[in-house]
Chain A
Amino acid sequence: MARTVKKNPVDLVFSSVTAIASFTVILFIIGILYVLMKESSLAIKQFGVFRFLTSTDWNPVTESFGALTNIYGTAVTTILSLVMAVPIAIGIAVFVTEVSPNYLKGPISIAIELLAAIPSIIYGMWGLFTLSPIMGDYIEPFLKKTLGTIPLVNFLFQGTPMGIDLLTASVILSIMIIPFTASIARDSFNLTPDVVKESAYALGSTHWEVIKDVVLPYSKLGVFGGVVLSLGRAIGETMAVAFVLGNNHRITSSLLDAAATITVTLANEFAEADKDVYMSSLFYLALVLFVMSFITLAIAKYFLVKAERKYSR
């Protein structure tokens, strides 16, 4: 193969241009990693890795910083938003691929893609001025009255419902990641060979049985990859969450309490971070986020590759 490429000068130019384009990306990644490590070196030296990751203290005045409250906030909002978004997204995908009449498929798909095109700052403003009052005045008091009285889950619904908390942030996040999960799930469902589905129908399966026993098992790895990709998006989301999370560096068990995520802390505190250690700790947080995102993407890639192999067999 390589020899034939060399013979044709156009091919040679073409392949080198694409190669350069790809290497730029790798260069960028290395560059970002380098800057993050260099800028955070002061904080790494001062707090170490283990202490920084396990300390809940975030106090700019005493210059003592730890990432645990931020990691906790990031984890809770991400997981909660996935719990809310994934069932809805899979429902959408099943409807679009298997249930819906043809004339509805177009409009629904477009609506989902539009949802993905809305900039996150718009979600943030909408969250602050519209969703947060609704959550604080109606939904959260209701949840507190109902779920808050049931033992074992009541610890999740303590405190004064304000609408600026983990729950509201997770709801916004889930709306934002639905389009990702839904469109990947839809594409995975479409990969199910018609022959297999038709055989199932021929054996007398109902519509529901085909979806449950043929389509879903066939595409579950693809769907899982999509979920992990949305997870990556949820972990890194900033502006939409910054307005409704309160940036409170405390670990709380209640979903009705304000909290902080890594990205929210960065967005809120970067501009006015006036001390070297403070600045360096923010870079350190960014480095932690970088590693977290890298790991989730690696997992997603692993499952997607596995899924592809299965289909090609």
Chain B
Amino acid sequence: MKVFFKIALVFAVMLSFAHAEAVETLNGAGATFPYPVYSAWAFDYSKVTGVQLNYQSIGSGGGIRQITERTVDFGASDAPLKAEQLLKDKLLQFPAVIGGVVPVANLENVNPGELKFDPDTLCKIYLGEIKTWNDNRITKLNPGLKLPSTDITVVYRSDGSGTTAIFTNYLSEVCPAWKEKVGAGTAVKFPVGIGGKGNEGVANYVKRTKGGFGYVEFAYAKQNKLDHVQMKNKAGHFVQPSFESFEDAAATADFDAKKDFYLWLVNAPGKNSWPIAGATFILLAKEKTDSNKKVVTFFDWSFKNGDKKATELVYVPLPKSLKDKIRGYWKANRLQ
């Protein structure tokens, strides 16, 4: 009995401590893609302010549903919502961080970053019209490279994902045939190829298959040392995927606070812009002013102090001009 009382006492003390601190918690749910950077920011933020963030990475669709039903303080989505939907569900929206999508190949005698692609070639490969690596539409762009006659094994994401949404939005933007035949979305009906589960699945298949060709998030292209390609952007320049080229895309793209930043960050007009990128977004419920202010304070702090952490995790921080636009948007909605 004595032991029992001791245990009960310990529990009582622990409970009272937990109660005394009464940790302030922000609840968020949504996209899996930004989860690592949000939790890294939240960890640093809680050390400074004591405010904790409970972020559940249940997927963008789930994030949108949960904020629409008002069960969380903020939702997160890789796909921006259109102004009409925001109006209908009384939501606010702003971008938080940027990710890039990089086409990668597995070719012998080709080093990462050597292979050059233009939008049309990329599209034709994914439509199944270009079937081998020595097709003259590819060799024409790469006169210095010896490309084999191997079949191109196209790899795509088998699971619904923001990565696929960015990639297919890019193809729809630059290639009318793609837009008409396939379209854009988190999961689409790919005309050719095999599906890998997750970025790791796609990276693994490309790595294993000679002549493999897929698309992965920037971080995976870096980590797996796959042959990433140079893309010809809207301005007609060939660019390498890098922090600078993603940031340039975000800085030159026309993010408009009046449209709640609705924009697919693809085919950005800048001279050095990487064309296949996307912002990931935060959604707030318009009427929940108190909790919104707390969420906004968190992201404001992260915008000021979190860039280094984001780059460490291979995310692209928002450029300063865009951060200022977002702060203006917060002020306009009386959240700051």
> Residues of A with Cβ closer than 8 Å to B?
58-62, 128-129, 133, 136, 160, 162-164, 242-243, 246-249, 258, 267-274, 279
B58 touches A258 (CB 8 A): no
B103 in the interface, Cβ–Cβ < 8 Å? no
**Nearest CB to that of A58 among chain B residues?**
B189
Closest 10 CB pairs of A and B: A271-B59, A272-B160, A247-B158, A61-B183, A268-B159, A272-B186, A246-B195, A274-B61, A59-B189, A269-B160
A272 and B61: CB pair below 8 A? Answer: yes
Binary interface encoding of chain B residues 140-183 relative to chain A, with 1 for a CB under 8 A from any of its CBs, else 0: 00000000000101000011111000000000000000000011
Whether B204 is near chain A, meaning CB under 8 Å from some CB there, is yes
Closest chain-B Cβ to A106's Cβ sits at a distance in Å of 38
Q: Are A162 and B209 in contact (CB under 8 A)?
A: yes
Check if A271 sits within 8 Å of B160, measured CB to CB. Answer: yes
Q: Which residues of A contact B197 (CB under 8 A)?
A: 128, 242-243, 247, 268
Residues of B within 8 A of A (CB): 32, 58-62, 64, 79, 151, 153, 158-162, 182-189, 194-197, 201, 204-205, 208-209
Residues of chain B lying within 8 A (CB to CB) of residue A249:
189
Residues of A within 8 A of B161 (CB): 272
Alpha-carbon distance A282/B327, docked complex (angstroms): 39
The number of inter-chain residue pairs (CB within 8 angstroms) is 90
Q: Is the interface of B mostly helix, strand, loop or mixed?
A: loop
B194: contacting residue among A59, A60, A128, A162, CB under 8 A? A162
Cα distance A162–B204 when bound, in Å?
12
Residues of B within 8 A of A258 (CB): 194-195
Instruction: Closest B residue to A268 by CB, please name it.
Output: B159
What's the nearest-Cβ distance from chain B to residue A50, in Å? 22
Tell whether A160 pairs with B153 under 8 Å between CB atoms, given A61-B188, A128-B201, A246-B194: yes
- Within 8 Å CB of B159, what residues of A? 247, 267-269, 271-272
The CA-CA distance from A258 to B189 in the complex, in Å, is 14
Tell me if A129 and B58 are in contact (CB < 8 A): no
**In the complex, which residues of chain B have a beta carbon less than 8 angstroms from the beta carbon of A136?**
208
Residue numbers in B under 8 Å from A58 (CB-CB): 189
Contact A269 B195 (CB under 8 A): no
Tell me whether A129 and B183 are in contact in the complex, defined as CB-CB below 8 angstroms, given that A258-B195, A268-B158, A268-B197 are known contacts. no
Beyond A61-B189, A164-B196, is A273–B160 a contact (Cβ under 8 Å)? yes
Is there an interface contact between A60 and B201, defined as CB atoms closer than 8 Å? no
Closest to A242 in B: B197
Complex CA–CA separation, A162 to B206 (angstroms): 11
Contacts known (A268-B159, A271-B59, A272-B59); A61 close to B201, Cβ less than 8 A: no
Q: How far is the CA of A124 from the CA of B298 in the complex (A)?
A: 38
Contact call A62/B183, Cβ cutoff below 8 A: yes
Chain B residue nearest in CB terms to A264: B158
Shortest CB distance B28–A (Å): 16
Contact of A268 among B79, B160, B209 (CB under 8 A): B160
Interchain Cβ contacts under 8 Å between A and B, 22 examples: A60-B160, A60-B187, A60-B188, A136-B208, A162-B209, A164-B205, A242-B158, A243-B201, A246-B158, A246-B195, A248-B195, A269-B187, A270-B160, A271-B32, A271-B59, A272-B159, A272-B160, A272-B162, A273-B61, A273-B160, A273-B187, A274-B79
